[in-house]
């Protein structure tokens, strides 16, 4: 990618300067690593009483004090989801090769496979910007967000959510929860008065923005005014757009559904042919296929994001009239890819996650779920992203990240010291995009009633939760040793 940039063979390098393209690309990758690592940290720390690290990690405490208040964690995740997709779209703009790009006399097939298709950029983004940060942040949450960069990223995500651009997602969540017959649990009271007016006003604004984004993007696709590869007919581009959105949606929903079924008994995971096949493969052996799927899924989703970015990002050739005859200023705004990012975030990401949170068994019963699981595991098995472990190790040593247990002990030690984790602080179920498994919310109704009436049963379930956590820590230790 650097070679293409410094030979002015990427879009941004041609329009600005090769050095500017290089700086922008790496600034975006670093920011993406904070967005991804910040999510793992803030979600993982949600159940932990944050006063126990207020002195040792002042900035981490400031972050969690915000996200642990009311429904702010959900709001953060909403804004953060848009940030991830928009940053990937911008990376595509700064690093994607121009048509006919050549480099260092490499064979044509090498150039086509690794550069023109964007495969090199996909690997760079996936390993540097996402997987390496996720590996470290999953075990070193406190150190990872104990900086002003993390606070800045948190504020940006919260600001994006507050604008209302993504608020149509809340309407979708309400509809999905209603269909599932599962109320959306909230830590805040019902919206009344001015709060209700502002909320529904932003929902209507969001619906308008989404409709406008779809109109602009589809119009550009039919007119051939996007960065889609040359020679692809307009009709094919439109079909590819919706197919890729559906693929991304399936992959986003699958992770929610998979984490949901880790909490329930085998006989409750669905009895359809594909539900059984999917669970048998997912939990085969010692359950290593679940993290394997997450790695393969990450590569698959990023690949789809880059292709969607090429399909939806507007590009007006020199001498052509702007879309709908708009001004150059507005056309340049269209060209940023922000409209495509809005569509992808709402329709290809958040919506599917919300549906999967309410109907996890239905996702398991879909034959495409099994097919995509096999594909993701095949991607992971190639070892093509194993470099992320090396990068994670280098990052960990360079900035001296320490495991959280060094500062606050294990969950069992915290409980012994009177600082028991509160798992109810981690929202889940219908209407929530939380990816970490909870414990009680998907239990059978009879068991929920028994827990409520018998403290001994609740104590036993909590001991099972502790065992699960210990097992996860053992797996993490093995992962660290491999790294």
Return the pLDDT at 266: 66
Question: By 3-state DSSP, what share of the chain in percent is helix, strand and coil, each rounded to 5?
Answer: 70, 0, 25
Residue 10's DSSP bridge partners are 97
Name the band, by pLDDT with cuts 50, 70 and 90, for residue 361.
confident
Indicate yes or no: pTM above 0.85: no
Question: 282 by DSSP, 3-state: which?
Answer: helix
Query: Environment class of residue 293 by beta-carbon count within 10 Å: exposed (0-12), middle (13-18) or buried (19+)?
Result: buried
Classified as helix, coil or strand, 278 is helix
What is the spatial distance between Cα 66 and Cα 435, in angstroms, rounded to a whole number? Answer: 19
Q: pLDDT at residue 129 above 70?
A: yes
Q: Tell me the range of 276-285, 420-429, 447-456 where mean pLDDT is highest.
A: 276-285
Q: What is residue 404's three-state secondary structure?
A: coil
pLDDT given at position 468: 42
Q: Strand, helix or coil at 222?
A: helix
Return the sign of the alpha-carbon dihedral for residues 307, 313, 318, 320. positive
Q: If you average pLDDT over residues 386-405, what whole number do you get? A: 86
On whether the CB atoms of residues 77 and 169 are closer than 8 A, the answer is: no
- Does position 425 have pLDDT exceeding 80, yes or no? no
Across residues 223-241, what is the average pLDDT? Answer: 82
Q: Average pLDDT, whole number, for the chain?
A: 79
Rounded CA separation 361/356 (Å): 8
Residue 336 pLDDT greater than 50, yes or no: yes
Q: Indicate the pLDDT class of residue 439, thresholds 50, 70 and 90.
A: very low
- Judged against a pLDDT cut of 80, whether residue 81 lies above it is answered with yes
Higher pLDDT, 81 or 229: 81
**Helix (H), strand (E) counts: the chain:** 25, 0
* Residue 238 binned pLDDT confidence (cut-offs 50, 70, 90): confident
State the pLDDT at residue 432. Answer: 56
The pLDDT of residue 286 is above 70: no
pLDDT above 80 for 5: no
């Amino acid at each position: 990618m650097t070679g293409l940039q410094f030979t002015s063979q990427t879009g941004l390098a041609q329009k600005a300067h090769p050095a500017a393209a290089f700086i922008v690309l790496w600034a975006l990758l670093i920011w993406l690593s904070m967005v991804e690592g910040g999510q793992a940290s803030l979600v993982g720390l949600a159940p932990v009483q944050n006063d126990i690290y207020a002195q040792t990690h002042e900035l981490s405490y400031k972050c969690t004090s915000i996200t642990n208040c009311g429904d702010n964690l959900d709001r953060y995740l909403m804004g953060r989801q848009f940030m991830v997709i928009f940053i990937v779209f911008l990376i595509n703009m700064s690093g994607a090769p121009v048509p006919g790009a050549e480099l260092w006399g490499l064979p044509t097939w090498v150039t086509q496979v690794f550069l023109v298709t964007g495969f090199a950029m996909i690997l760079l983004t996936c390993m540097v910007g996402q997987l390496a940060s996720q590996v470290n942040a999953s075990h070193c949450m406190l150190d990872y967000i104990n900086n002003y960069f993390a606070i800045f990223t948190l504020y940006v995500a919260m600001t994006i959510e507050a604008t209302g651009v993504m608020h149509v997602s809340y309407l979708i969540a309400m509809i999905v929860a209603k269909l599932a017959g599962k109320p959306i649990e909230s830590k805040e009271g019902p919206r009344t008065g001015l709060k209700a007016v502002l909320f529904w006003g932003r929902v209507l604004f969001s619906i308008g923005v989404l409709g406008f984004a779809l109109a602009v993007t589809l119009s550009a696709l039919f007119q051939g005014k996007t960065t889609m590869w040359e020679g692809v007919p307009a009709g094919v581009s439109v079909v590819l757009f919706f197919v890729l959105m559906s693929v991304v949606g399936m992959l986003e929903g699958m992770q929610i559904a998979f984490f949901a079924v880790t909490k329930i008994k085998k006989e409750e995971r669905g009895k359809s042919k594909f539900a059984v096949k999917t669970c048998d493969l997912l939990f085969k052996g010692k359950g290593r296929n679940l993290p394997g799927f997450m790695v393969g899924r990450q590569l698959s989703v990023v690949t789809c994001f880059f292709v969607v970015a090429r399909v939806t990002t507007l590009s007006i050739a020199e001498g052509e009239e702007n879309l709908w005859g708009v001004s150059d200023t507005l056309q340049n705004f269209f060209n940023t890819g922000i409209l495509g990012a809005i569509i992808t975030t709402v329709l290809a990401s958040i919506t599917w996650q919300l549906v999967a949170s309410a109907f996890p068994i239905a996702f398991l019963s879909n034959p495409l779920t099994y097919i995509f699981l096999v594909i993701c595991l095949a991607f992971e098995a190639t070892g093509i992203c194993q470099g992320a472990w090396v990068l994670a190790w280098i990052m960990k040593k360079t900035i001296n990240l320490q495991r959280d247990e060094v500062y606050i002990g294990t969950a069992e030690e915290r409980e012994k010291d009177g600082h028991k984790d509160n798992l109810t602080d981690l929202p889940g179920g219908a209407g929530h995009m939380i990816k970490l498994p909870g414990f009680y919310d998907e239990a059978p109704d009879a068991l929920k009633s028994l827990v409520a009436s018998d403290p001994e049963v609740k104590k036993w379930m909590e001991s099972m939760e502790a065992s699960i956590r210990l097992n996860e820590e053992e797996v993490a230790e093995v992962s660290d040793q491999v790294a």
